[in-house]
Amino acid sequence: MDGLESCEVLKDESLVPDMLFKAILIGDAGVGKSCILHRAVNNEFKSEYEVTIGAEFSSLIIKIKGKTVKLQIWDTAGQENFRSMIRVFYKGSHAAFLIYDLTKKESFEKLGDWIDDVKENALPEAKIMLVGNQKDNEECRRISVAAAKDFATKFNLIGFKETSAKTGEGVINMFIEMAKILYLEAERNPSPKKDEQKKDAQKKGERTKLHAVSNTKKKSGCC
Ligand code: GDP
Ligand code: MG
């Protein structure tokens, strides 16, 4: 991560990124996926529970070493209980955030099934980051940091973070960390089709912007 500490999140939606990656938020219903995304994009928390309806995504643009990396982040949209229906949603994903609620043991115990879904449906090189949400609720904690770290090591995940969508703790960092990892890997393994991919990313960036505008209009709440 040397030299990458000074990453910043850019607000300019019209910016055409140097790199574009697709990321998905997965995990049981109610763990806080929509609130995490809403916190990252709008920096606010909504406490009323609202099931997300329809497929939704938002974007974050992160500046790393003078390059702009756009993460297009998809939320599973309340269909977590109909997992066979959301498999298309994994398609083409470079990254998955595997989210559990650190106050609910069941949400941690089911993580293995979510990993299977990523392996079967996302890109073969997709990176998975483990995220324990609701860190503000320390008195109700059921999953220790040590247990989560062991899990991340056992399943070869690229990292582990704890977050609170309520206070905002750790939320932006999980996305910045993932963007750094994807960026570094793309720098390390330049594909012969890199220029082609960059053009594609730029085209997609333009399209993303259009989607993001209509998506924002359609959205009525985060969670
Ligand atoms: P999703 O089904 O995974 O998208 O979960 P939501 O984002 O809709 O959140 C489910 C519930 O958990 C909502 O009532 C939220 O207000 C609450 N929630 C989400 N994140 C946090 C958090 O970090 N701390 C606390 N205390 N509550 C949270
Ligand atoms: Mg949701």
Superfamily per CATH, domain 4-220: P-loop containing nucleotide triphosphate hydrolases (3.40.50.300)
Q: When comparing pLDDT for 147 and 58, which is higher?
A: 147
Taking the centre of ligand 1 as the mean of its atom positions, its distance from the CA of residue 47, in whole angstroms, is 7
Q: Return the percentage of the chain with pLDDT > 70, whole number.
A: 75
Closest C-alpha residue for ligand 1 atom 9: 32
Nearest ligand 1 atom to the CA of 80 is 2
Give the ligand with the smallest distance to the CA of 29.
1
For residues 7 and 196, which has the higher predicted lDDT (pLDDT)? 7
Looking at residue 190, what is its pLDDT? 74
Output the ligand 1 site: residues, CB below 6 A.
29-35, 47, 49, 52, 133-134, 136-137, 164-166, 223
Query: Which residues neighbour 53 within 8 Å (Cβ) at sequence distance 6 or greater?
Result: 77, 78
pTM for the full predicted model: 0.84
CA 80 – ligand 2 centroid, Å: 9
Can you tell me whether residue 62 is helix, strand or coil?
Answer: strand
Long-range contacts of residues 13-16, Cβ cutoff 8 Å, at least 24 apart: 13/59, 13/61, 13/209, 13/212, 13/213, 14/209, 15/61, 15/68, 15/205, 16/202, 16/205, 16/206
Q: Which residues contact 127 (CB under 8 A, 6 or more apart)?
A: 94, 95, 96, 158, 178, 181, 182, 185
Higher-pLDDT residue of 222, 188? 188
| Average pLDDT of every residue of the chain | 83
Q: Bigger pLDDT: 86 or 44?
A: 44
Q: How far is it, in rounded angstroms, from Cα 25 to Cα 76?
A: 6
Q: How far is CA 186 from CA 17, 69, 176, in A?
A: 14, 11, 15
Distance 77 CA to ligand 2 centre (A): 5
The CA 133 to ligand 1 mean position distance, Å, reads: 8
Q: Determine the distance separating the centroid of ligand 2 and the alpha carbon of 37, expressed in angstroms.
A: 9
pLDDT (average), residues 83-87:
68
As a whole number, mean pLDDT of residues 150-178 equals 97
CA dihedral 146, 148, 151, 152 (to 10 degrees): -110
**Domain residues of the chain, as ranges?**
4-220
Which residue's C-alpha comes closest to atom 20 of ligand 1? Answer: 32
pLDDT by residue (tens digit) across 26-58?
A: 999 899 999 999 999 989 997 765 665 556 789
The preferred substitution site among 28, 35, 81 for testing ligand 1, maximizing ligand atoms within 8 Å of CB, is 35
DSSP of 63-81: EETTEEEEEEEEE-TT-TT
